[in-house]
Structure 1
Amino acid sequence: MAAFVEIQGFFQIRRQHLPLAGGARLRQVAVRASNSAAAVAPAPVVVSDGAASERTVVRLGLPSKGRMAEETLNLLKNCQLTVRQVNPRQYVADIPQLSNLEVWFQRPKDIVRKLHAGDLDLGIVGLDTFSEYGQENEDLIIVHNELKYGDCRLSIAIPMYGIFENINSLQDLAQMPHWTEERPLRVATGFTCLGPRFMKEKGMKHVSFSTADGALEAAPAMGISDAILDLVSSGTTLRENNLKEIDGGVVLESQAVLVASKKSLIQRSGVLDITHEILERLEAHLRAAVQFTVTANMRGSNAEQVAEKIHSQPSLAGLQGPTISPVYCKRDGKVSIDYYAIIICVPQKALYKSVQQLRSIGGSGVLVSPLTYIFEEETPRWRNLLSELGL
């Protein structure tokens, strides 16, 4: 049976923080006597928080387990930032392309906590984890908010049966006469900060929250809670446990984000430069992932005429416009220009439509190629980061 801890009162939730690794630590130092084989009793040596500021290597925290960890490593690999881990059991690795960087594999919530403590400088976590454990901390900042994986939503779910059978929205749930001060709506969740805040914003007064270790989906069936607040991806697990989401019950839409400590970005040597390179690589790859290069030949008397034809079609504008170059054909022993080669970038979702439009204006020999990177003159998120840091 999952162990539940009741959190009493809507406005009296107490968050329990684990000891932070950046706090004072105690080392045991054994001192051997010079004239004896016996060791003197270990003497405690206190290492203050100042040790964190003396660290020169930059540290990046990555999820240690599960699908999030796998997809994070894949993204970095696609950005030519392959994480090198000699032993899969080790928690420390590196990225050869980024000198003076250590990669630390940690639980997502510990990444946020260690960013705050100064033990990490950068991290990749889900927005849900960042919002629950670090969003109220002014030192923590989101550097990139759309890494395009880890999609899920933090959502309220209730049973499909019993008194909830005809309840389909948060408003319906709030208007049920069952909830009183003596008998509040009981919600099981691991998000004891986001959950109560959401309910308060929605005006729901008679609610109590409990935390649980294990599968939350079992809580309503066991009679331990009336509802759950949990992360949902496809919703299959909910349905298999006779639970349903309700309209207006989504607390947060989440995906993977790159986060950092402001203090580290400003004060620690090398952190800003490494952040810049990681951000540029991420932006270039993610932008290219949804684009294709389309190349085709078109008849025309000159490049300007071909350009006018292309600009007449809304799906063929490209990033700034088409690249047009002459195709030199040889006929009867003479070189002539009858065709022009055009190159454009096309959004993945509009690919077929763009090819159709290209054909309609005389395009032929159409070639389509995936893109690896699209580097802009300057990354917009980099400008935003510098602005937020006051640099």
Structure 2
Amino acid sequence: MRRAAVPVLVSALALTAAACGKAGDDNDSDSGSSSGSGNKSIGLLLPDSVTTRYEQFDKPLFEAKVKELCSDCSVSYANAGADAAKQAQQVSTMVTKGVKVIAISAQDSAAIKSSIDAAVKKGVKVIAYDRLAQGPVSAYVSFDNEKVGQLQGQALLDSLGSKATPKAKVVMINGDDADPNAALFKKGAHSVLDGKVDIAYEQSGLWKDSIAAQKMKAAITQLGAKNIAGVYAANDGMAGGIATTLKGAGISGIPLTGQDAELAGIQRIVAGTQSSTVYKAFKPEADAAAQLAVNLVEGKSIDDLATTTMTNGSGNKVPSQLLTPVSVTVKNINDTVVKDKLYTVDQICTSAYAAACKKAGLQ
């Protein structure tokens, strides 16, 4: 949801490089030439383990790129397990270790501000990764997140086709308000959907499949199963919970959006229980963050990397690098996540999805 996006191709089309385990996991690790101490030490702090992307993709991609760019750099890692207080302590621990640069995807962008303030006062440079944290951060790398919401909204309208009328009742399940990206996704989606359909029920699912499922059940009770034309889900994790609720209520054949191009989301798209997702290629985002981190730890300029500016919630103007997201439907799975080798056809087309994959041309 932004402007001045830096385009990154998905292979020839969009980006190359938009969430793991269980909430509450606290995974700490060190890699590189030292355990986080020294003049070229970098910290990576990710927000949760329920979104599969973070530890499955972001962490290893970031670490690999840092190693490629700087053989004598080290990376210390921790996951907040969806706990803002834990992440604040992790920032403090990184500073105590002597880390010089911290790349952080904030669990709560406002709550982390005081920790970032304290780290910067100690001379630490902070990169906001994927989510724009408050405080005096040195750089921000993410996707055009308002555009993500626009893509989601348009995909919903496209799936509705002639049924997209101002009277068509749509359920909207947004992300966690503590995540600044959630507001951008929501803004982008509303900019496309408002006036085209009736957003008859709108709630936050807190990025949790169980909460999203509960909200979907409440929406069905309030609106009636036969009266729901489509569902906007802000990410694939929540879409999974919603899809289960829809099936239990005997609702099928209606559009359901998502985001992150999770494997389960792609499989639901193949099976027809989810209509779209948004692919935010992880590699270019992780690579961009790693390049920023290495430049900052080596005292180099980032002007040619962060070519636009975003203003965070505390009013700080932050040099930013924004990448371009891509909408994924059953028609372009081959040309996006498969072509980019995010997943193989074999990974997508397990026995449960074999027939659907054949019908979709995934073989």
TM-score bin, normalised by smaller chain: 0.3 to 0.5
Q: Which has the higher contact order (CA 8 A, sep 6+)?
A: 2
TM-score (norm 1): 0.35
TM-score (norm 2): 0.37
Greater strand share, structure number: 1
Name the larger-Rg structure: 1
